[in-house]
Structure formats: C-alpha cells, structure tokens
C-alpha cells in the first residue's frame, strides 16, 4: 500500500467520524505511524500495511453511541455495526425498569457501558476471559462514571439467570484470518476475533428472558435457526447500517 493509499483510507475514517479537517489530520497520523515527516509523505512510496496501527489506537479513544471510550490493543476497536446490537438490546429491555443484563465478552466495555448509560435502571455485568480487556473496561467505566460489574469469567455466567444476555463473540473462522485487513491482524487481539460455535453455545446454555448476539457475514440464518431450535420465540434478524444481517435476537417466556 502506498502512503497516498494510507492517507486516503485514514481520511475516510476521519470524515465519517465528523472530523473537520480529515485530509490534514490523516496526513499527520500516517506520517507519525510511518515515522516520516508530513512533507515527505507523498514521496515516501509504499507503506507497510502491517505497520498501520488502527486509528482508534493511535488517537487513544473512539466514539461509540453516546460515549467516548479509551481504546488500545487490549481489546477490539468498537465498531459502528455493534451499535445495532445495543439498539436491539435496548428494545428488548425497554419494558423492564431494572433489568439484569449480562454482556459476554465485554472487551473495552462498549456494549455494557452503552446499555448502562442508555437504560439507567439496568444492572449490568460484563464478563471476559481476558484480564487485559477487563482492565480496559474498568478504566472506561471509571472515567464515564457508569456502574458496571466486571468479572473474569466466560459463557458459563449466562446460566445464572438474566433478563437479557448480549454478546459480540469471536466469530471469524480460522481460515478467514489471513483475509482480514493487515492492521487488524497485527494490532487487534486475535482471541477476540477468531472463534466458532459460540452463538449456538449461548443459545443452548443461557438462562435468560432475551438473547441478542452480533454475527458475521453469512451467519445470521444459521444462528437464527439455532435460536429457534433452542426454544426462543420471536426470533429476529436485524441489518446494520450498511445493510448486512448483523444481529440475531430471540425471547423466552
């Protein structure tokens, strides 16, 4: 990838985030990551894609719904498509004053903290098997002043009994890893991305009134079928803002 390509890619992300001067800021950021002067950027030729740290990590913070979260390589960058998961989760608990919510794979805390922020009566627990991710989530909770209980735990916590279990689990197949963008492969935690069967495991084990999960491309129908097979009703698939099937949800009596 050339330096110009890198600038264009970063410029698009900044523009989408509403930055007033996306081109100039993109040039400064790419120059910093490439360890060169901005004045030499366009003569720099190719830039190693793998050296391009995700913009959210370079900046150190990233917007997610109404929140600004600290971001670094301890957890995935919060993504716009995951905001659809929060949207559907809020709809599922809108009629409950003080819902008990479990976020499985809390990562940076994006989903759990957004739910605590937008449904102020909720009691939110976030679990993760990564101590580093939990530490980042705790830092975000403290800086935002939001009460979320964080535990070093995994999917078994879903058996405790909840009003809502929500999860953005690892869903990238092993064979798909090499096709991901180089900056993702180099910087973001593989364990938070690569995995299989976790949607179905949640559907089978969760003791909850409602379950909502984020899914990858081509996975929604299979996961929806698993929900139905496990006794969930009103199973629904919701597209993200780009029109891709992204969230599967279901309810129980």
pLDDT digits (tens, 9 = 90+) for 48-72: 555 667 878 888 899 999 999 999 9
Mark whether 47 and 83 lie in a shared domain.
Answer: no
Give the mean pLDDT of 8-16. Answer: 80
Could you tell me which of 35, 41, 34 has the C-alpha nearest to residue 183? 34
Mark whether 46 and 119 lie in a shared domain.
Answer: no
∠ CA 28-177-190 to the nearest 5 degrees?
70
pLDDT of residue 25: 78
Domain that holds residue 135: 74-251
Mark whether 107 and 167 lie in a shared domain.
Answer: yes
DSSP 8-state code for residue 157 = G
Mark whether 185 and 216 lie in a shared domain.
Answer: yes
pLDDT of residue 5: 72
- Report pTM: 0.83
What are the pLDDT digits (tens) for 166-180? 999 999 998 999 888
In the block, tokens 């901005």 appear at 38
Question: Which two structure tokens, joined as six digits, stand for 147?
Answer: 């009460």
Tally the residues of the chain: 253
pLDDT of residue 11: 81
- Residue 64: inside a domain, yes or no? no
What is the C-alpha to C-alpha distance for residues 103 and 126, in angstroms, rounded to an integer?
Answer: 5
Mark whether 36 and 127 lie in a shared domain.
Answer: no
DSSP codes of every residue in 73-134: TTSPPP-HHHHHHHHHHHHHHTT-SS-EEEEES-TTSHHHHHHHHHSTT-EEEEEES-HHHH
- Residue 100: inside a domain, yes or no? yes
- Is the torsion defined by CA of 48, 49, 53, 56 positive or negative? positive
- CATH code at position 221: 3.40.50.150
Mark whether 129 and 230 lie in a shared domain.
Answer: yes
pLDDT of residue 46: 57
Mark whether 15 and 127 lie in a shared domain.
Answer: no
Instruction: Look over the chain and give the mean of its residue pLDDT values, rounded to a whole number.
Output: 90
What is the C-alpha to C-alpha distance for residues 225 and 232, in angstroms, rounded to an integer?
Answer: 10
Mark whether 123 and 222 lie in a shared domain.
Answer: yes
pLDDT of residue 94: 97
Mark whether 44 and 116 lie in a shared domain.
Answer: no
- Residue 139: inside a domain, yes or no? yes
Band of residue 8 on the pLDDT scale cut at 50, 70, 90: confident
Mark whether 162 and 114 lie in a shared domain.
Answer: yes
Give the mean pLDDT of 173-196. Answer: 90
What is the number of structural domains in the chain? 2
Mark whether 94 and 43 lie in a shared domain.
Answer: no
Band of residue 3 on the pLDDT scale cut at 50, 70, 90: low
What are the pLDDT digits (tens) for 130-171? 999 999 999 999 999 999 999 999 999 999 999 999 999 999
Mark whether 48 and 106 lie in a shared domain.
Answer: no
Strands 123-128 and 100-104: parallel
């Amino acid at each position: 990838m050339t330096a110009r390509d890198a600038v264009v890619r970063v410029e698009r992300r900044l523009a989408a985030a509403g930055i007033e001067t996306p081109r100039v800021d993109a040039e400064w950021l790419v120059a910093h990551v490439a360890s060169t002067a901005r004045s030499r950027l366009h003569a720099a030729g190719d830039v190693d894609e793998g050296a391009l740290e995700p913009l959210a990590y370079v900046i150190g913070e990233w917007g997610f719904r109404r929140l600004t979260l600290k971001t670094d390589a301890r957890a995935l960058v919060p993504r716009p498509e995951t905001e659809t998961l929060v949207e559907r989760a809020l709809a599922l608990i809108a009629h409950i004053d003080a819902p008990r919510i479990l976020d499985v794979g809390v990562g940076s805390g994006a989903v759990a903290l957004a739910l605590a922020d937008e449904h102020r009566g909720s009691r939110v627990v976030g679990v993760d098997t990564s101590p580093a991710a939990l530490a980042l989530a705790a830092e975000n909770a403290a800086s935002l002043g939001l009460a979320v209980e964080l535990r070093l735990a995994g999917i078994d916590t879903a058996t405790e009994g909840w009003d809502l279990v929500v999860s953005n689990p690892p869903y990238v197949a092993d064979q798909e890893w090499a096709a991901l963008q180089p900056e993702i492969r180099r910087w973001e935690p593989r364990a938070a991305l690569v995995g299989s069967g976790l949607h179905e495991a949640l559907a089978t084990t969760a003791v909850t009134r409602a379950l909502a999960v984020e899914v990858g491309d081509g996975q929604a129908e299979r996961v929806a079928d698993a929900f139905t097979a496990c006794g969930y009703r009103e199973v629904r698939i919701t597209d993200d803002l780009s029109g891709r099937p992204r969230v599967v949800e279901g309810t129980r009596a």
